[in-house]
Structure 1
Amino acid sequence: MVNSASLLQWAAQASRSFSSTGTQQRKVAVLGAAGGIGQPLSLLLKLNAQITHLSLYDMAGTPGVAADISHCNTKAQVKGYDQDKLAEAVRGCDLVIIPAGVPRKPGMTRDDLFKINAGIVKSLAEAVGKHAPGAILNIISNPVNSTVPIAAEALRKMGVYDKRKVLGVTTLDVVRAKTFYAEKKGLDVSAVDVPVVGGHAGITILPLFSQASPQASLTAEELDALTKRTQDGGTEVVTAKAGKGSATLSMAYAAALFADSVLRGLNGTPTYEYTYVESSVTESPFFASKVKLSTEGVEKVYDLGTLSDYEKAALKTMMPELLQSVEKGVEFVKNS
């Protein structure tokens, strides 16, 4: 599962050379690297000892971001690409992370967000399909419930779709659930685990506190409050920033943790995470649940385990919205 200790391990390893034994040459690209998520994410990735080449792409300003990050004394070589250099940026990548797009702003509906970001994700996914067809895609761009199906459908049309390699990053939901649960019950957050399943927006986010560890008793009121706070975590940040930003730093942190797990899987150490992928676990064709990550991406998708009555009701409630979001993404590509 996501482990904050891994960030400390990166820092400890940052100024050391790679071991020559078993070390893979791993190239990672960040598409949208000059943005609010992209910049801190790129910095965190520069600290990851598994990455030898870090490729940063955005419409403008990327060479400056790359130059800044490149001064950090870690092994990863960094290069920035602007505008028409997308093909060069992704070519040869093992992992491509997509935070590109606009953030959610006060008063912005999910439909507003969809209209802007759908086309961005489609074009970036197509570039990866053409120039790095074997790469794993980690999609951050919202609304994830639709953008992951968009990427999948775009790659399917190109004949290069591999359901094991298109992953929606829902790690921030897990990070929030663990943090809020630990704070509420006075637990050591580094020892807490909370499964989070479903989607990555509002009521489609379902923390499974009945399966949390260590297990602490929750009243009905505490359970409902923790669930809703996890679902509304993004809104909490937007409100706190008074409309001048969204959850960029915590998202970058969560995305870096997830990327680390993906890379460890690629390098032969199986890892386990919660992520939004093509799935047959529920009636939704895309769903976030526990997966095993290995050398080809998602090796196995696990079922949800035993749910409480509260969680069963929440799962039923979310399904129409989640199905609609998935269909909306698929139809966008089909009608493009």
Structure 2
Amino acid sequence: MYRHLKSFLVGFNPSLVAVAKYQNFVTTNAMDQIDRMCERYCPVPRFPPQKVAVIGAGSDVGRIASLFLKQQKVVKLLAMYDEPGRGVIGVANDLAHIDTSTEVEAYQGRMFLKDALYDSDVVLICGGCHVMPPCCNTPDRVVFFKNMQHVRTVSVACASFCPQAIIAVQTPPVDCNFALCAHTLKLYDVYDKRRVLGVNAINSMRANQLFCSITGTDPSGSTTPVICGTGRCTRVPVFSAGKAGNFPQTQVDCLTRLVREADDIICKVKSNNEQGHLSIGFSSARFVVNIMQGLFEKPSFIDSALVEQAEPEKCYNMKVCATPLTVGKGGIVEYAIPNLNEFEKELLECSKVDLEDMLNLGRCYAVGDEYFLHDSKYCYIPPCKPCKTVVPRETIKQ
């Protein structure tokens, strides 16, 4: 309570506080609760804690994202949360050994979700089930059924305990879970389309790396946006936005397929039956850092994020679409809609139906409506043979 009394007195007479050389360190649960209520209703301007909450921090993606966030000066407090059995407390203790100014907190168990989210500026929802071998071509709908309760629970908690925070949804499939989170917040009347984003950083990063490897340019000096959605049937890389001169269409077709099938390619190539958790975790952390820089430093550009558009008629007549954007003090401040060539326009038209179907699936679960498959949905991924598992050399019979 002392720090709030101090702030209150400073507004009237700073000399009243100058003689106070003590601070009350005696506290109880009741006093702590009153302290938080005072923070909420006190008219004295409050200083943002610059806090990021990583929900699902015990997962592979959450651990890697937390590692990079621990190194960022713009993040002063990193709250890591996960369910029991994920070892998030051990991970947080490990990260606490890194000599950076970012403080680390660990919360494990549903009863501590409120404390993890309280006063957060950005909430990263990650973790959950990913597409794993031998089912590399598992439909996004099946993955959503495994992850929807996780996203739903966190969305309800965010609406109750940190409605002011910017929420970045990374749990796959992002198309469905973004809609689930947004419509859940609408039910609690705390939804702000400028402050709910679907993380599409990994697709934009992959597209930029592939593009620069072909053209021989520096990836740090260019961006390759990925629009429409985040799923394998909805992501549309815009390679025409790059400055590459004469770029053969055959290479565009090949690169587009590589971006759309990147998840399957990685899970087939890696011999330890994992996805690209390193690149996904890094891209998610960079996504969050860009948001924090926009909130507390200067407007920051994000390569691609799934958001509700301010003017759908300017965004290919799509109300919800992944596009580049700029984040400022209050959230999204500008939407950058790239121009498309004929090939990209055709691919976008083919992908709209799948995005609408995924968004509708997430909406139906949030509001309780019955879900029906889109009449025009035709994206079909043929079943593949199970991924081969590498057998250790010592177990092979000679």
What's the TM-score, normalizing by structure 2?
0.76
Corresponding residue of 1:91: 118
Corresponding residue of 1:12: none
Tell me the secondary structure at the aligned position of residue 52 of structure 2.
strand
Corresponding residue of 1:157: 187
Q: Distance in 2 between matches of 1:286 and 1:120?
A: 22
Corresponding residue of 1:6: none
After superposition, the CA RMSD in angstroms is: 1.5
Tell me, yes or no, if structure 1 residue 77 matches structure 2 residue 135: no
- Pair 1:86–1:205, CA change in 2 (3 A): same
Of 189-198 and 125-134, the range deviating more from structure 2: 189-198
Tell me the secondary structure at the aligned position of residue 102 of structure 1.
coil
Measure how far apart 1:268 and its partner are.
3.9
1:110 to 140, 144, 148: 140
Corresponding residue of 2:385: none
Tell me, yes or no, if structure 1 residue 67 matches structure 2 residue 93: yes
- 1:174-225 Cα deviation digits (max 9, x unpaired): 110111111122222222321211111113111111111x324221210000
Q: Report how many aligned residue pairs link the two structures.
A: 312
| TM alignment of 1:188-227, pairs within 5 A | 188-212=218-242, 214-227=243-256
Corresponding residue of 1:13: none
1:113–1:142 CA contact under 8 A, matched in 2? yes
Tell me, yes or no, if structure 1 residue 302 matches structure 2 residue 336: yes
Corresponding residue of 1:48: 72
Q: Distance in 1 between matches of 2:327 and 2:246?
A: 31
2:124–2:169 CA contact under 8 A, matched in 1? yes
Measure how far apart 1:320 and its partner are.
0.6
- The letter of the residue matching 2:307 is V
Tell me, yes or no, if structure 1 residue 29 matches structure 2 residue 53: yes
Q: Distance in 2 between matches of 1:29 and 1:142?
A: 18
Tell me the secondary structure at the aligned position of residue 233 of structure 2.
helix
Tell me the secondary structure at the aligned position of residue 203 of structure 1.
coil
1:285–1:326 CA contact under 8 A, matched in 2? no
- 1:244-290 Cα deviation digits (max 9, x unpaired): 21121101110111111100110140112121001222344321012
Larger Rg: 2
- The letter of the residue matching 2:248 is T
Tell me, yes or no, if structure 1 residue 255 matches structure 2 residue 279: no
| TM alignment of 1:302-321, pairs within 5 A | 302-304=336-338, 306-321=339-354
1:269 to 290, 294, 298: 298
- The letter of the residue matching 1:57 is Y
- 1:96-143 Cα deviation digits (max 9, x unpaired): 001121111132221210101111101111111100110000110011
Measure how far apart 1:24 and its partner are.
5.7
- Unaligned segments of structure 2, at least 5 residues: 1-46, 370-398
1:168–1:276 CA contact under 8 A, matched in 2? yes
Corresponding residue of 2:156: 126
- The letter of the residue matching 1:70 is A
What's the TM-score, normalizing by structure 1?
0.90
2:60–2:127 CA contact under 8 A, matched in 1? no
